Every structure is written in structure tokens, then in C-alpha cells.
A and B are shown apart, each in its own frame.
Chain A
Amino acid sequence: MDTTVTHNNSEEGTWSGGNQPLKASYGKLMMWFFIVSDALTFSGFLAAYGFSRFKFIDAWPIADEVFTHVPFVHGNFPMIYVAFMTFVLIMSSVTMVLAVDAGHHLKHKSVAFYMFLTIIGGIIFVGSQGWEWATFIKGDFGAVETKGGKILQFVDTEGNRLALADFAIEQASEREQHLGKNGIWYDQEATPTTYSIEEVKAGFAATPNALIRIQTLTEDGEKTVLSREASLAKLNKDGKQVVEGANLIHNEYGAPLFADFFFFITGFHGFHVFSGVLINIIIFFNVVLGTYERRGHYEMVEKVGLYWHFVDLVWVFVFTFFYLV
């Protein structure tokens, strides 16, 4: 770096230029300031999530009941998979910092090797997040939405969740999905759910041990379960439509806002990881081609390293506020 810029300001004043009061190069400084502004963007999102959660503090979904799956394994494992994702991202942060360190010692080969490992870690993370999204969108047990937009879930008398398929009674029906090609002005409706609300209501009435669980939390922080009579009355009076899985409008796990923020925040973070992987790939090829070796320093690796660690840093907060708290 010092080969291109001549410093002869020793006898000139503080303000005559050429000084580096923060002892960091222009590029690194700008990366730091970008990180500050990006951190503020993310905290805006997370604070908005906190705002919505405080708005519905007595009825917010319990994350442990929402994210319970692990790929290739059946059963109920809250937190395990997301802990694995966190570890993958921290690990790729470590390989990144090892790459930076190797760069300081101008070890061409190990910089390339560690950059490669970092890219692999990033790809595993983004893939896991895609799987997490797919599981969330597909849904678990199914639920019923009321006229007021609240969610009714089903449990048996022991408190175990019941899936709609466990009790719904299929009825002959001639209802067909209304497609854009049939109606006027390309009006269309969403994909119909597996069971109609009538089928769920009939099945619920015929299953004596089925109860309804509403969103309101008890003092112990669990969802309130209604009595059999109250359940029947609630479902017949307020039940409006069946919800399976989650999208931006309906969400079988509880408040639609929960799904909205989940998609938006983890999506925005996933996009950061994705672009981080792309930038890492570019830098990786530059390392392999010897660009930085000829330049005499590996500061570019340091700069993308800062970005990559920042992505890890944000995930630490997303992990806490979405999955733990």
C-alpha cells in the first residue's frame, strides 16, 4: 500500500492531508461504516419485531412449538437444527478469520483453502435456511382461522397436538378451485386446503377427546386449552376457514405477523449470506489467480472478512430473538 502513496507530510500540519488518524485504510474504514448502517437496518427490523410482539405479548406463538424439525429425522426436536445452523455460521467465521491471518503471513495456498471452507460453510447455511423456510411454509398440524383472524389449534385431552387429518371427516363436495381462466377479469382463489371447514367441524364434533387450543397464553406461558363445550361453541360460532402452513396472510402457528417477520428478517439475513458467498467466491478466485500476491497484501480478504463476520453477528441476534426469547 505504501508503495503507491508517498507520505511526506511529517513537517506539515494535521489537516494538510495524508494522515490516517484511525490507522485504517480507506477501504476498511468504509466497510466499517457500511456495517454500522447495515446493523441499524437490521436492528430496525428486529425492533419492529419486538414492537409487534409486545403488541400481542399475551398471544405470541411459542418458537419451540414452531421450529421442531430436523431433516431426515422424525420427531420433535426444538432448537436442535437451528443450533446446528448457528454453529455452521460461527465455524465459517473461524475459517474466514484464519484466511485473514494466513493473508497477513502472505501464505497464498492457505488463504485459498480457508476461503474455500468459508464458502462451503455459507452454502450449507443458506441451504439449511431454505429447508427451514420450506418446512415452515408447508406447516405441521393445520389449524382453523376465526372471523377475527385468530388461530384455533387442536389438541387431545392429554394436550398432544392433533393434525386435521387425525379427525376431519371427508365429505363429498363439488367445490372446485376457481381459476383465473374461468372467471371474469382473471379473478382467482388460492389453492384449496386438504379439508374444508365443514369437514373439520363435522370431524371435531364426532371426536369426543378433541379440544381447541387458543392463542392466549396462560400464566405459565403455555397456550390456553378450552373445555369440550367451549371448544365446540368456539369452532361453530367463529371458525371461518382452514389454514395449512404459513404464508404472508395466513399462518397456522399463530399471528400472521409472526410469519411476516420470520420471512422478512431471516430472508433479509439469508440474502446477506447469499451475497456474502458470492463476494467470497469472487475473492477466492482472485486469491487463486494470484491477484493479491502480486499486489503484495491481502487486504481485500480482510474487507470481505469484516462483512462475513457481520453476517454471523446478525445471525447471533436473530437466533436469540426468533428462537430463544
Chain B
Amino acid sequence: MAHEHKLAIFRGTLKFKNNIQKIWGVLIFLTLVTAVEVVLGIYKPEFLIETTFIRMKLLNWIFIILTIVKAYYITWDFMHMRDEVKGLRRAVVWTGIFLICYLVFILLTEGDYIFEVYNNGFQSWDF
């Protein structure tokens, strides 16, 4: 079995000489992203908390986007999704992404509705 690995990451801007180097490169990148998350989580810069985008704090958007970035590199380079054929990649990734987005949208909308009911109803919940 031949094992050809695609050795470039960041859309081809960073090329590695061999697969082992690529693994360490991705580790450094993932560690960096985690460190950024932890530092932001500890210091919580003022303006990232005050600014909101689509009813969520900018800081939380950053956390979620960085998480997806990490997930991408774990799947693409550690799980070698980068080397799989397009059909397999799409069967796995798009199925998951579609169903998860659907579920999250529905549950969060419903949760928000129930919050409104608790908040504006005539029943007191704090006693």
C-alpha cells in the first residue's frame, strides 16, 4: 500500500518536508491556539465582552471559531482526512455539519423561547 501524504497546510503556504515534521508543525499550531484561548479566558479583555455580534459576546465567537479551527486540523492532519478522496470527506464532514447545525439551531431557539416564558410569565420562579 502506498501512503501519499499531502504535506502542505494553511492552503499551501506552509509546506513540510515529511509527514513527521507536519505532525509536529500541527501540534505547535494547536498548542498556540489553545494558549490563546486560555489567555483570553483568564484575562477576558473588556471590549471583547462588551461588543456583541448576533446576540453573543465577541469573545465567545472567538472561542467557537478557534475551536472549529482546531477541530479542522485534528481531522485533516491527525485523522488524515486531507489524504482521503473527496467522496469520503464529504460523506463524513457534510453529514455531520448539516445535522449538527440543524440540531443546535432548533434547541437554542427553543431554549431562548423558554427563557422568555420564564422571564415574562406571571409565575415567580425565585422564592
Chain A residues close to B by CB (< 8 Å): 1-2, 21-24, 29, 32-33, 35-36, 39-40, 43-44, 47-48, 50-58, 64, 78-80, 83, 86-87, 90-91, 93-94, 96-98, 100-101, 104, 146-148, 150, 214, 220-221, 238, 297, 305-306, 309-310, 312-313, 316-317, 319-320, 323-325
Contacts and interface: CB of A to CB of B under 8 A. Distances in A.
A22 B23 contact: no
A204 B23 CA distance: 57
Interface in B105-121: 107-108, 110-112, 114-115, 118-119
Nearest to A297: B1
B87 interface: yes
Interface of A, secondary structure class, is helix
Interface of B: 1, 3, 19-20, 23-24, 27, 30-31, 34-35, 37-38, 41-42, 49, 60, 63-64, 66-67, 70-71, 74-75, 77-80, 84-85, 87-88, 91-92, 95-96, 99-100, 103-104, 107-108, 110-112, 114-115, 118-119, 125-127
B32 to A, nearest CB: 11
Contacts of A54: 108, 111-112, 114-115
Given A54-B115, A79-B42, A43 B103 contact: yes
Contacts of A53: 111
A86 B41 CA distance: 14
Contacts of A52: 111
Contact of A32 (B74, B88, B103): B88
A35 B63 CA distance: 24
A104 B63 CA distance: 35
B85 A51 contact: no
A40 B41 contact: no
A316 B19 contact: no
B71 A148 contact: no
Contacts of B38: 79-80, 83
A238 B127 contact: yes
